[in-house]
Amino acid sequence: MVASHFHLLLLALLPCATWATPAVHSRAVSVSTPLGTAQGTLDVAGANRFAVRYATASRWALSTIVTEWQLPNGSDDPTVLPLQCPQIRVDPSTYSEDCLSMILYVPVNLAVDGQAPALVWIHGGSFDSGSATDPALEGSKLAIATHSIVAVIQYRLGALGLLAPQGPTNLAVKDTINALTFLSSVLPSFGGGGSLTLAGQSSGASMIRTLLAVPSASSLFQKAILQSDPMDYGFLSVETQTLLQNTFNDLVSCAADDAACQTALTLDEILDAQVTLEDEANDLDPAAGIGEPLRPVRDGQLITTPLDSTAPFPAVSKPLLLTNVKNEGGPTVYQLLFPGPDPLPASWFEPVCDLSLGPNRTQIVEDSGFYPVDPDGDTRVPLEILTTDYIWKCSTWTFARNWVSHGGPAFVGFYTLGATYPANVNTTFCVEDGAVCHRDDIYIVFGTTPNPTAAQAALTAEMQARYRMFLLTGNPNAPGLEPWQPATSSNVFAKEFGVKTTPNGLAPIGACTPSFWGATAQYDYQVFDI
């Protein structure tokens, strides 16, 4: 939705960058791999943890997969977690350009050279924030529950991953591909060898959608789980990316061919220029948008299709799980735009929509009846529903219908129960009974909710059982659980997880009908022909 400053929106859409504190470890472990001895540590009872550097890269150069097993950041202590990739809003001592690392969580009872599946988690953060050590991402419980190897990976962020002055695009995407390639060579040593499933939330899910549009990456994974992907944004066009790139080069005062100047830049100088560019991106080109102006670019070489409704959809086959939460837009509306206890007057609905949607779409939205404004109520209520719909929920449902229509199975879910993520704690709306805000599904999936209620514990057990079956078979239906019906080309059958709000346990369709969002009212990627 609306924001006058990019970093206000960042606070609502990105994971909080809290550095995870290592758990107490009782013993060292080691595993022989083709790259040498992997050194790890017992993480919790029943799982071992291995932190590893998977690739190296000079600044703004393509990354190169390592040829020997290395602990992150030159450490000789297997209990140490990797440093984050450089980003704003965190202590500089917690990040390093040497950040192409991952953390493996391996149940101790996996047989060496077995056929256990693997789940690779890609963190969110609007492509310029987040890490493998974000809150809730400790993967031992998820690994144990799903009898799988869980890998949580990092990739270069922001300008360092997506704005290389000398021209190579999508470095962050190529880092992720290298992480998957590295895993394919070492997983059998830990008992892996079965299928590999990608999973991620927010921009992590966007990265997975990117990889689905990369033919050269197709053989590296077999299934995918996309949680809360802001699909409305689409990829960047080459033209928009070039404009952002040239502006960034001017901001750092380095010519595209001046490698010495680029190397001499401090991280503070790079991040300051990134902040300025992100603030100005929407004014430079509305196609960049406010929420995620730095993102993968459809270059026609690595990323070959928009994988949306602006071009013919390719034939597909990989099974997908696609989920949203009930109040994706809660942090944006109630934390950034209009915090505080006072209700928002009805007269604000139209101007707020105008700033985000433009007058044409605003008029369509107002005439639709899907977002009624109560003259005596709080206009943040329809604004939150609208934000959830067009940025996340409806665009995901459109994608699901497209995916199924072109050959791939998809299961669509909708969280009506969650666990409040740390970044949402200070948003009054997000801690109200019944609210499930953006990111509130992460604790549930990982089984890391602090002091879970009985309902939260039950939902975690259910989702981990479903993930276990999906990793094995591509179908999340598990014995003893209610059926989860696959989507069709006309009805996504979005199953509610948590509290049933309808008699059949399916999320209300509302404005996510095929005739409204994506048709009568277009998504951003359609408006800007991305």
Residues that are catalytic: 202
Tokens of 145: 């529950």
Amino acid identity of residue 513, one-letter, is: T
Rg for the chain, CA atoms, rounded:
22
What is the DSSP code (8-state) at residue 69? E
* Nearest Cα residue to 303 out of 220, 216, 224: 216
Cα→Cα distances 56→65, 68, 464, Å:
7, 12, 33
| Residue 390 parent element (H or E) | none
Tokens of 39: 């050194």
* Nearest Cα residue to 334 out of 325, 343, 346: 343
Q: How many helices (H) and strands (E) does the chain have?
A: 15, 12
* CA count, 13 A, side-chain hemisphere, 445: 26
Q: Are 137 and 123 contacting, i.e. CB atoms less than 8 angstroms apart?
A: yes
What is the DSSP code (8-state) at residue 40? E
Cα separation, 428 vs 308, in Å, equals 35
Cα→Cα distances 297→209, 493, 497, Å:
12, 31, 34
Alpha helix stretches (DSSP H) within 187-265 = 203-212, 238-252, 259-264
Bridging pattern class, strands 495-497 and 410-415: parallel
Task: Render the burial of 164-175: b for 16+ CB within 10 Å, e for the rest.
Answer: bbeeebbbbbbb
Q: Are 220 and 184 contacting, i.e. CB atoms less than 8 angstroms apart?
A: yes
Angle at 272 between CA 268 and CA 277, to 5 degrees: 150
| Residue 283 parent element (H or E) | helix 267-284
Q: Are 297 and 303 contacting, i.e. CB atoms less than 8 angstroms apart?
A: yes
